[in-house]
Structure 1
Amino acid sequence: MKIKVTVIVQKEENWYVAKCIENNVASQGKTIEESIENLREALELYFEDETPEISDIPTFVTTMEVAL
């Protein structure tokens, strides 16, 4: 079985942190690709004993500016 998840990658100091929005599982790596691959492994372990809830509701991700 395969599912699609939404992932955000952010640079924090010398690491890239990849986080799954649907369940807050996160991992890190020295490169974007490494952080995503590490997150994939973390998610596979997370779902190993749990059946994911599959939602057909589309996710909309955007950025916005906030006046300070």
Structure 2
Amino acid sequence: MKRIIQFHISKGDKYYTAEGADLPIVTQGKTLDELAENIREAVELHLEGENPADFDIAPNPSVLMNFELPQIHA
């Protein structure tokens, strides 16, 4: 079972966007702090009333946010 729920983070013009790597969750925030709180809320709502084991997720998982940097020109 997975103990970590991963999200890919990208920055748009006005918002940071988070997309779940293993769960169909998408959310956004104006700051990274707001985004982190929105991710927490979205995960809680997604799993509310569900058995996490049905999603191959351990109870009380951690969240990992992977931030995508713009292209680097070397």
- Length-normalised TM-score, structure 2: 0.62
- Which sections of structure 2, spanning at least 5 residues, go unmatched? 59-65, 69-74
| Higher strand residue share | 2
> Does 2:11 match 1:11?
yes
Tell me the distance in 2 between the aligned counterparts of 1:29 and 1:18.
9
Aligned residues: 55
Q: What's the CA shift string for 1:32-55, capped at 9, x where partnerless?
A: 121121011011011002122227
Larger RCO, structures 1/2 (Cα 8 Å, 6+ apart): 2
The runs of at least 4 consecutive aligned structure 1 residues that moved more than 2 Å come to: none
- Counterpart amino acid of 1:12? G
Question: Normalization by structure 1: what TM-score?
Answer: 0.67
**Cα RMSD, aligned residues only:** 2.2
Question: Which residue type is aligned with residue 44 of structure 1?
Answer: E
**Equivalent runs, 1:1-68 vs 2, <5 Å:** 3-52=3-52, 53-54=56-57
3-state SS of paired residue (2:4): coil
CA distance in 2, matches of 1:33, 1:9: 12
**Long gaps (5+) in structure 1:** 56-60, 64-68
Q: Secondary structure at the match of 2:18?
A: strand
